[in-house]
Amino acid sequence: MSQKKRITVLGGGPAGYPAAFLAADHGMEVTLIDEKNAPGGVCLFKGCIPSKTLLHVAKLIHESRDAVDWGIDFGKPKIDLEKLQEHGNSVIRKMTGGLDGLAKQRKIRFIQGRGVIDGPTRVRVQDLDGNDLETIESDFIVVATGSSPRRISEFPDSPHIMSSTDALRLDEIPENMLVVGGGYIGLELGLVYSALGSQISVVEALPRLLNAADPDLVEQLQSRLNHYFEEITLSTRVKEIVEENGRLRVKFLGLDRDDDEGKLFDKVLVAIGRRPKSANIGLETTSVEIQENGWIVVDEQRRTAEPTIFAIGDVVGEPMLAHKATHEARVAIDAIAGEASEYNPAAIPAVVFTDPEIAWCGLTEQEARTKGIPHVVSRFPWSASGRATTLGRNDGPTKLILDPNTERVLGVGICGVGAGELIAEGVLAIEMGAIASDIQMSIHAHPTTSETMMEAADLYYGLSPHYMKRER
């Protein structure tokens, strides 16, 4: 029998632990190294999962307030921060415990520590204080070290300035808070703190929120956010932050704004994106190439310039999404196992878990226009959806971006309750090369918001029973 392939994975997040699990399923001898005491990574310990737990709480609070319009008044919610934190921690414990059990079942060697590459096939393991523990020789190394929140060096070092990680700890609920950054992280956490009682202001340097999403989807979201947030300021930067009597005085600089006095906030949340964690892990001892922005250069199989080293997840570039990282893990491990593999997805879903949610996949409308790609758009408004009306949530559209010649589905965009769940149908349609009539002729349950996909396809052919307008 041939000797098992030995693989060492650096990082236990949604790129690293699936890579380790899949490698073990392929019969490889696997070592998984992460700074936490169990697999899960940033996403599980202090990212995706805790934030979505809190967003669910925020949704409950907002729905209870909206119910007043229907004749149901639950009164002002009483929030027990300590119990809320414990609920979030229990979710994390349950999920990390499950992953830890799966790692043991697969006979994966899990080491809590930090892996430092020392050549093409060698990894030095250090404890969290930087002391060397052991050296591991492998046939292959997979770098899945993830990313960390970006910081603004000009801002003062203050306990009142938070990163997204800090914000998830819920140490206190400030009376008012400034969110710097109008991306998905800032808006999601802004909604959480707004529901818990903070007055939220958002400042974004670009002319609109969520720059990667289509404007018609963002417009629907922003209309609702204007009810939740005290202020949303676009095309504006933070010029200066100064501590003043336990608070922060923030001065702004924008197209129509240059505050001399500034405005006082209890907290400032900096949510301007994330940066790859590719530095200080020993890549300089190899032939691995790193771009100026910190992303590791890889090929279609996620192999670096060093043949024995693969890289996956946030360290190899946008989109920095957990599900994209997990898909890359499969591609890389299949390549190591000698199977045909290539990273070439036709559609990667993006979901913003705000209220309403925004989700899209494939070609966006603004991307098609910018690149001059021939397309037609068919939109079905949720105002014509029976299910959305029963929910009291006629927020946005479901739209299909279609090839005008073949009618093939090139992209899907949705704004509305549960858009993150609905977008999966769009991903499947794009990956399978579906055309508009495939969606039109697929019977969707009534009354559901999923019908809006079918209705958008109906509208393309001018046949919708619930809406007259047709966009070609």
The pLDDT tens digits for 97-117 are: 999 999 999 999 999 999 999
Look at residue 44 in the predicted model and tell me its pLDDT: 87
- Mean per-residue pLDDT, 350-370: 96
What digits encode the pLDDT tens for the residues 312-359? 999 999 999 999 999 999 999 999 999 999 999 999 999 999 999 999
Look at residue 463 in the predicted model and tell me its pLDDT: 80
Confidence of residue 224 (pLDDT cuts 50, 70, 90): very high
Look at residue 328 in the predicted model and tell me its pLDDT: 98
Look at residue 258 in the predicted model and tell me its pLDDT: 61
| Homologous superfamily of the 161-272 domain (CATH) | FAD/NAD(P)-binding domain (3.50.50.60)
The reply to whether CATH 3.30.390.30 applies to domain 350-460 is yes
**Do 313 and 15 form a contact (C-beta atoms < 8 A)?**
yes
Look at residue 333 in the predicted model and tell me its pLDDT: 97
Look at residue 470 in the predicted model and tell me its pLDDT: 46
Dmax over CA atoms of the chain, in Å, equals 75
Confidence of residue 257 (pLDDT cuts 50, 70, 90): low
Same topology between domain 6-148+275-336 and domain 161-272 = yes
Question: Mapped to the 3 state alphabet, what secondary structure does the chain carry?
Answer: CCCCCEEEEECCCCCHHHHHHHHHHCCCEEEEEECCCCCCHHHHHHCHHHHHHHHHHHHHHHHHHHHHHHCCCCCCCCCCHHHHHHHHHHHHHHHHHHHHHHHHHCCCEEEECEEEECCCCEEEEECCCCCEEEEEECCEEEECCCEEECCCCCCCCCCCEECHHHHCCCCCCCCEEEEECCCHHHHHHHHHHHHHCCEEEEECCCCCCCCCCCHHHHHHHHHHHHHHCCEEECCEEEEEEEEECCEEEEEEEECCEECCCCEEECEEEECCCEEECCCCCCHHHCCCCECCCCCECCCCCCECCCCCEEECHHHHCCCCCHHHHHHHHHHHHHHHCCCCCCCCCCCCCEEECCCCEEEEEECCHHHHHHHCCCCEEEEEEHHHCHHHHHCCCCCCEEEEEECCCCCEEEEEEEEECCHHHHHHHHHHHHHCCCEHHHHHCCCCCCCCCCHHHHHHHHHHCCCCCCCCCCCC
Higher pLDDT pick, 117 / 2: 117
Q: Range with the lowest mean pLDDT among 80-94, 397-411, 414-428?
A: 80-94
**Do 422 and 414 form a contact (C-beta atoms < 8 A)?**
yes
pLDDT at 1 over 60: no
- The whole-model pTM stands at 0.92
Percent with pLDDT over 70 in the chain: 97
Is 62 an active-site residue? no
Helix axes 419-431, 451-460, angle to 10 degrees: 50
Look at residue 471 in the predicted model and tell me its pLDDT: 46
Domain boundaries, the chain: 6-148+275-336, 161-272, 350-460
- Mean per-residue pLDDT, 297-301: 97
Higher pLDDT pick, 259 / 73: 73
What digits encode the pLDDT tens for the residues 258-296? 666 889 999 999 999 999 999 999 999 999 999 999 999
**Do 257 and 274 form a contact (C-beta atoms < 8 A)?**
no
Look at residue 256 in the predicted model and tell me its pLDDT: 61
Residue type for 223, please? S
Beta strand 257-258 with 263-265 is unpaired
**Do 320 and 147 form a contact (C-beta atoms < 8 A)?**
yes
pLDDT at 150 over 80: yes
Q: Could you say which of 56, 160, 323, 446 is catalytic?
A: 446
- Mean per-residue pLDDT, 213-238: 95
Look at residue 255 in the predicted model and tell me its pLDDT: 63
Average pLDDT, the chain: 93
Confidence of residue 426 (pLDDT cuts 50, 70, 90): very high
The reply to whether CATH 3.50.50.60 applies to domain 6-148+275-336 is yes
Percent with pLDDT over 90 in the chain: 88
